[in-house]
């Protein structure tokens, strides 16, 4: 719980903000970052070029 003192009135405010339900707790990746990760998997031979192209279309909404 965050507390802040208001210097003028001496009042204390309490920040009770809670994360909203169903919100991701991890940072959201940009499409560019996701494609970059997938490209690394292609380069390592884990993902085929066809699988990459399919995932790329899905990520970019094509």
Q: How far out from the chain centre does Cα 2 lie?
A: 24
43: left (phi over 0), alpha (psi -120 to 50) or beta: alpha
How far is it, in rounded angstroms, from Cα 4 to Cα 11? 9
How far is it, in rounded angstroms, from Cα 50 to Cα 61? 16
pLDDT, tens digit (0-9, with 9 covering 90-100), for 2-51: 445 555 555 566 666 666 666 656 677 899 999 999 999 999 999 999 99
What pLDDT does residue 53 have?
96
pTM of the model: 0.53
């Amino acid at each position: 719980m965050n507390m802040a003192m208001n210097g003028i009135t001496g009042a204390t405010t309490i920040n009770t903000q809670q994360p909203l339900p169903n919100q991701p707790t991890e940072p959201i990746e940009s499409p560019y970052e996701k494609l970059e990760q997938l490209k690394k998997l292609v380069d390592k031979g884990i993902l085929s070029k066809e699988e990459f192209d399919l995932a790329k279309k899905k990520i970019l909404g094509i």
